[in-house]
Amino acid sequence: MSFVEYGDTIKDGDTAIVFLGHESMFPVKVQHGSVTQTKYGVIRHSTDLIGKKYGSKVTCSKGGWVFILHPTPELWTMNLPHRTQILYSTDISIITMMLELKPGSIVCESGTGSGSLSHALIRTVAPTGHLYTVEFHQQRAEKAREEFREHGVEHLVTVTNQDVCKNGFGVSNIADAVFLDIPSPWEAIGHAKSALKAEGGRICSFSPCIEQVQRTCLAMEEYGFTEINTLEILLRVYNVRTVSLQIPDLGKAAEDNSSTGFDSSSPSHQGSSCANLQQGTVQFKSGVPLREVVGHTGYLTFATKS
């Protein structure tokens, strides 16, 4: 099993996603002899998972059923254990596009955190690219290394435990892109410039506060970055539901008007027309935005090394 290479069958040691519904899923490490409890009953790894195909419908001990999905960066973002605040798919998608990432790209990242963005970056630059990710917190760095190893992507990523603001990324003049998600990104702009390739490399900084953005933009300008641009991505979800509305019999009303010669403005004719307008209903799908939507997550500041 690998997060960047699809496998057909579930094997011992794999990380799989147990899908109970769109709002209910969780990851599980498949191990021979282990069991997993769900609200539909027990899943026995040896008989219910190992050897089955990903996407299979598995019946639990109480008669309910779940689907077992192959892990992807998107599913991992929704289900990973949170060690820090994470980036979600809305911001991740624009980051990978604006940094112009592709298979073979070299990317530097700080900090690693819970690894949400890291998995997406690895999948994007695979199979010949590489991610150099720096994490200040030692335990989080060690946990990230462990997860990358379990997910079969350790050959595509190098995890370093150090302060990027003081010690940089540990590489020079090779990165196609740099991503910063740290409290004071302006202190790492110089190291980011050193890590980027000689010309044309891209940088992105994620900050929740506009004051951080202002200081970061000033530092980028000081170090000669161009095309400095700040974005905020807001996601608006629509709820689709079936509604019933009455339909008017416009054809009959028009026929009555022409045959009887009634004045449509008269009160008596208006009453008969209203009766005709309520002769049936029709059902159709309608989309309305949710009453509560995800608001501000952070500002994304992009720039180019000139």
Phi, psi of 233 (to 5 degrees): -105, 120
Phi, psi of 301 (to 5 degrees): -110, 120
Spatial CB neighbours of 231, under 8 Å, sequence gap ≥ 6:
94, 98, 299, 300, 301, 302
Please indicate if the annotation marks 117 as binding a ligand: yes
259 is in an annotated binding site: no
Residue 115 labeled ligand binder: yes
**Bridge partners, 239 (sequence order):** 288
Amino acid at 138: Q
185, 229, 174: which is closest to 208 by C-alpha?
Answer: 185
CA 43 to chain centre: 28
Residue 163 is labelled as binding a ligand: yes
Q: CA–CA separation, 190 vs 162, rounded Å?
A: 16
Nearest to 10 by CA among 93, 88, 67, 68: 68
Nearest to 180 by CA among 54, 29, 299, 53: 299
Residue length of the chain: 306
Closest by Cα among 196, 211, 172, 205 to 95: 205
What letter does residue 196 receive in the DSSP assignment?
A: B
Residue 181 annotated as lining a ligand binding site: yes
Say if residue 127 is preceded by a cis peptide, omega within 30 of 0. Answer: yes
Q: Is 287 annotated as a binding residue?
A: no
Q: If DSSP codes are grouped into helix, strand and coil, which group holds residue 35? A: strand
State the angle between helix axes of 267-276 and 250-260 in degrees (0 to 180), rounded to the nearest 10: 150
Burial class (CB in 10 A: 0-12, 13-18, 19+), 81: exposed
Tell whether residue 261 is among the known ligand binding residues: no
Per the annotation, binding residues are: 114-117, 135, 163, 181
Per the annotation, binding residues for S-adenosyl-L-methionine are: 114-117, 135, 163, 181
